[in-house]
Amino acid sequence: MAREGLGFEITELRLGLPGGEPPSVVKNEKKRMFSEINGEGDENECSGDRKIDKKNQVVGWPPVCSYRKKNTMNEGSKMYMKVSMDGAPFLRKIDLGMHKGYLELALALEKLFDCCGIEALKDGDNCEHVPIYEDKDGDWMLVGDVPWEMFVESCKRLRIMKRSDAKGFGLQQKRIHVEAMAK
Amino acid sequence: MNYFPDEVIEHVFDYVVSHSDRNALSLVCKSWCRIERFTRQRVFIGNCYSISPERLVQRFPSLKSLTLKGKPHFADFSLVPHGWGGFVYPWIEALAKSKVGLEELRLKRMVVSDDSLELLSRSFMDFKSLVLVSCEGFTTDGLAAVAANCRSLRELDLQENEVEDHKGQWLSCFPESCTSLVSLNFACLKGEINLGALERLVARSPNLKSLRLNRSVPVDALQKILMRAPQLVDLGIGSFFHDLNSDTYAKLKATILKCKSITSLSGFLEVAPFSLAAIYPISQNLTSLNLSYAAGIQSSELIKLIRHCGKLQRLWIMDCIGDKGLGVVASSCKDLEELRVFPSAPFGNHAAVTEKGLVAISMGCPKLHSLLYFCHQMTNAALITVAKNCPNFIRFRLCILDATKPDPDTMQPLDEGFGAIVQSCKRLRRLSLSGKLTDQVFLYIGMYADQLEMLSIAFAGESDKGMLYVLNGCKKLRKLEMRDCPFGDSALLTDIGKYETMRSLWMSSCEVTVGACKTLAKKMPRLNVEIFNESEQEDCDMEDEQRVEKMYLYRTVAGKRNDAPEYVWTL
C-alpha cells in the first residue's frame, strides 16, 4: 500500500495500453480526494468576506446537521439595521450581512427608497442624499470613511440625509475618499 | 429473593430506574423478568427497527414513556437519502390498539406525519409530553391536533425539526381549559404565531418553566410574555431586534430584571447590535447559554456578555468568538462542563478558533466533560495538554474543518494527540476524530478507550488494521460510524459476532464490497445489513466485487423491515 511513489509501478505486469492507470484503487486516494476538492478553499479565502464558497464542498462535511446549516451558515450573519430617510413617512430595515461593500449598500439603499443619487456611488452633482450612520458611541458618522468590516461592526442605524442639510461639512474631500473606498 | 412475594419485589424495582439497570434485572431469572415487565414504565429503543412495535406492547403493558430513535446519525449530514425510513406511525398505531396508557413520547430522527400526531392526540387520555428532535414529515396542522386534543399536555418540545408551516392558528388550538403547560418550545418553526393567543396561553400556565420562542415573536410581545411568566427557568428568545432608544427596550430591560429564575437562555435568532446589555442583569444566574443560532451577535458583544456569566456550566456558541474569546470563557466560567463551538462558515475564516482556544479552555475549566469543537487546525501538543488538564472527558468531538489536516507545526498526523486523550480520559464514552490520522490512532483507541460507546471517523486510517484495533479493543462499543476510510472486507468480516453486541455500524465510501456484505448477512441472521443503491441504473443485481457506497447494519429481532424504499437492499 505504501509502495506507490517508489516507482514499482513500472515493473508491474498488466494488461492495457502503456502509460495507462493501474487498475487497483489506491487507498490514499480518499484523503487526496478531500484535499483536492477543498484544498483551494482556504487559500482563496478573502479576509473578512462572509461569502460561502459553495462550489467545492464535500457532501456532509463539515458534519453540521442540516437544520443548523440552513439556519446559521448559509444565510450569513443577520444584521438588520433601521434606515430612515429624510422626508420618508416610515423607516425600513436592511441586512448589512447581505452586502459585501459600500457599493452594494448604496445600491440596496437606492432600491429600498426608490431614489437615486446616494453618495458613495455617483459622483458630481447628482448626489441628492448623503448616507450617515450612528455608531456604537452614539455619534453620527459619514458612511464610507472606514473599512467595510469596521463599519459593519460599529453601525447601529442608518440615515439618509438630504445633501442640502449637510452643507458646509467639508463633503468635497469626503466624496473622493468614499469613491476610493467603493472601488 | 424467591422468598419474597411479588409485591415486595415490585416495590424494590420501583427504585431501579435507569434503563440499563432495568434491563439487567430482567435477565436474572424468569420471575424477575415477569415482574420487571409488568412494572416497567419507561422504555428506550435506540434503533426503531431493532424490535417490532407489537413486541414492545406485548412485553411492556404498563408502558408510560417511550423513546425512539430512527435514522442513523449520519443522516444529519445528508448522507442518508430521502425516504429511508424511521416512521413513527406504526408505533403509535400499535400503542393505541393495545390500550397502553402512553404519557410521554420522545423521538429523534424519525418521520412523523400529521396523521400520526392526530392519532397520538386522540388515543391517549393522559398524554403529557411530546419531544421531537431532528424529526420531519409534519406540519403545523399536526401540532394543532396535539394542542387541541391533549388535555393534560405538559410538554411540547420541538428541537431542530423541519416543520412545514401551514399558516394555521395552531397555537390558538390550545383550549382555555389547558393550564398544565410546563414546557413549550417552538423555536424551530418558521411561521408567524398568533401573539395574542401566545400571551393568553402563557398567562394561564402558572407552571410554565421553559419557553422557547421562534423568530416571529417580536420584542414587545416578549416583554409582555415575560411579565406574565416571571417564574420561567429556561427562556429561548426569538427576535431581539429593537431600537435601543425606544420605550420597548426600556420596558424590556426592566422586565428582565424581574426574571430572577432564568438559568438557561437561548435563541436570539435575530439580534439588534449592542442590545445584549439588557440581559447582563440576569447573566450571573445563567448555567446554560446557547447562542449557537445567534448569527447576528458580533464577537465583541459575545465576549462582553460572557464576562458576566460566572456560573455557566453549558455554553454553545459560534466560532466567531475566536481564540481570544475562548480565553475569556476560560477565565470567567470556572464551572464550565459542556462546550460546543460551531462553525459560522463551512471552511473557516480568519476569526475562527484554533488549538489555542481549546488549550485556554482546558486550562481554565477543569470540570469540562463534554466537548464539540469545530476548528481551523489542531496540534498534537495542544491535545496532549488538553488531555492532561481535563481528564474527565465523557464526550470529545473534534472537527477540523479541513478533514485531513495534519499538525501544522510538525506536519505529523494527530495520532499522538488523540492517543493522549483516550489514555487520559478513562471515562470517555463518545469520540469523534478528524485531521490526518493513520492506523496508529486506532491502536491507541483499542488499547485505552475501555468505556467507549460511540466512535465517529472520517477520512482516517490506512488499512483494515485500523478498524480491527477498534473492534477488538473497545469492548463497550455500541455505535461505529465511518465515512471515506480505507477499511474493507477483511476488516468487516474478521469478527462478525461483534456486531450483535453493538447497536449499529455505518460505513460509507469505504472499501467494503457487495460480496462481503452478502456473506455477513448470510452468517448473521439477527443483523439487518442494508446497502443503499443510489445509482440511476436499473441494476437488479449488483456484482459481488462492486464497492458499496453506503452500508448500514444493525442488530434486530424484528427481521427484515417492510417499509424500506427501493434504493435500500436488505441482504
Q: Quick check: B361 contacting A, CB < 8 Å?
A: no
Cβ distance of B350 and A82 shorter than 8 Å: no
- The tens digit of pLDDT for each residue in A18-37 reads 544 444 433 444 444 566 55
The pLDDT value recorded for residue B350 is 58
The pLDDT value recorded for residue A95 is 82
Q: Cβ(B41)–Cβ(B64) under 8 Å?
A: yes
Interface-testing mutation among B290, B344, B347, with chain A (most A C-beta atoms within 10 A):
B347
Percentage of residues in chain B with pLDDT exceeding 90?
79
Cβ distance of B459 and A34 shorter than 8 Å: yes
CA distance B491 to B484: 15
> Region A150-170: what's the mean pLDDT?
79
| Shortest CA distance from A137: residue in chain B | B274
**Cβ-based burial of B167 (10 A; exposed 0-12, middle 13-18, buried ≥19):** exposed
Total number of domains in chain A: 1
Instruction: Establish if A144 belongs to a structural domain.
Output: yes
> Which amino acid, B175?
P
The pLDDT value recorded for residue B152 is 93
Per-chain mean pLDDT for chain A:
65
Nearest-CA distance A27 → chain B (Å):
6
Whether the per-residue pLDDT at A183 is higher than 90: the answer is: no
Q: Cβ(B279)–Cβ(B265) under 8 Å?
A: yes
Residues 331 through 360 of chain B touching chain A, CB cutoff 8 Å: 342-350
| Chain A hits for B439, Cβ within 8 Å | none
DSSP character at residue A119 = B
Instruction: Establish if A95 belongs to a structural domain.
Output: yes
- The tens digit of pLDDT for each residue in B452-470 reads 999 999 999 999 999 999 9
User: Nearest Cα to A64, choosing from B73, B99, B480?
Assistant: B73
Strand order from edge to edge, sheet including A140-142: A92-95, A80-85, A155-162, A129-135, A140-142
Q: Domain span at residue A99? A: 80-165
Q: pLDDT category, B351, cuts 50, 70, 90?
A: low
Cβ distance of B346 and A62 shorter than 8 Å: yes
- The tens digit of pLDDT for each residue in B89-125 reads 999 999 999 989 999 999 999 999 999 999 999 999 9
**Cβ-based burial of A10 (10 A; exposed 0-12, middle 13-18, buried ≥19):** exposed
ipTM, 2 dp: 0.89
Interface-testing mutation among B402, B430, B511, with chain A (most A C-beta atoms within 10 A):
B402
Minimum-distance CB partner of B459 among A30, A64, A72: A30
Which of residues B524 and A18 earns the better pLDDT score?
A: B524
Alpha helices in B307-437 (DSSP H): 322-332, 355-364, 380-389, 415-424
- The tens digit of pLDDT for each residue in A99-136 reads 767 877 887 888 887 776 665 544 544 567 888 888 88
Minimum-distance CB partner of A65 among B160, B243, B295: B160
> Region B38-66: what's the mean pLDDT?
94
Nearest-CA distance B277 → chain A (Å):
13
Q: pLDDT category, B508, cuts 50, 70, 90?
A: very high
Instruction: Establish if A118 belongs to a structural domain.
Output: yes
Nearest-CA distance A96 → chain B (Å):
10
Minimum-distance CB partner of B293 among A50, A72, A82: A72
- The CATH number covering residue A139 comes to 3.10.20.90
The pLDDT value recorded for residue B228 is 94
Cβ distance of A97 and B270 shorter than 8 Å: no
Q: pLDDT category, B533, cuts 50, 70, 90?
A: confident
Instruction: Establish if A51 belongs to a structural domain.
Output: no
What number of CA atoms fall less than 13 Å from residue B570's CA on the CB side?
20
Instruction: Establish if A146 belongs to a structural domain.
Output: yes
Name, in order, each residue with C-beta under 8 angstroms of B102's C-beta and a sequence gap of 6 or more.
B63, B64, B65, B66, B95, B120, B123, B124, B126, B127
Cβ distance of A65 and B402 shorter than 8 Å: no
The pLDDT value recorded for residue B566 is 87
- The tens digit of pLDDT for each residue in B271-321 reads 887 889 899 999 999 999 999 999 878 888 999 999 999 999 999 999 989
- The tens digit of pLDDT for each residue in B143-195 reads 999 999 999 999 999 999 999 988 778 999 999 999 999 999 999 998 889 99
Q: Which domains does chain B have, with CATH numbers?
A: 1-40 (1.20.1280.50)
- The tens digit of pLDDT for each residue in B217-242 reads 998 899 999 999 999 999 999 988 87
Q: pLDDT category, A15, cuts 50, 70, 90?
A: low
Q: pLDDT category, B538, cuts 50, 70, 90?
A: low
Report residue B483 as a C-alpha cell: 465515512
Whether the per-residue pLDDT at B255 is higher than 90: the answer is: yes
The pLDDT value recorded for residue B249 is 84
Lowest mean pLDDT among B4-8, B60-64, B355-359, B509-513: B4-8
Per-chain mean pLDDT for chain B:
93
Nearest-CA distance A117 → chain B (Å):
27
DSSP character at residue A25 = P
Instruction: Establish if A142 belongs to a structural domain.
Output: yes
Report residue B325 as a C-alpha cell: 474569546
Q: Quick check: B181 contacting A, CB < 8 Å?
A: no
Q: Cβ(B365)–Cβ(B336) under 8 Å?
A: yes
Interface-testing mutation among A72, A134, A149, A150, with chain B (most B C-beta atoms within 10 A):
A72
Cβ distance of A45 and B292 shorter than 8 Å: no
Cβ distance of A60 and B77 shorter than 8 Å: yes
Q: Which H or E run includes B35?
A: helix B30-39
Instruction: Establish if A33 belongs to a structural domain.
Output: no
Which of residues B495 and A22 earns the better pLDDT score?
A: B495
- Using a CB cutoff of 8 Å and minimum separation of 24, what contacts does B525-528 make? B526/B500, B526/B555, B526/B556, B526/B557, B527/B499, B527/B500, B527/B553, B527/B554, B527/B555, B527/B556, B528/B49, B528/B553, B528/B554, B528/B556, B528/B559, B528/B560, B528/B561, B528/B570
Instruction: Establish if A96 belongs to a structural domain.
Output: yes
Q: What is the pTM of this model?
A: 0.80
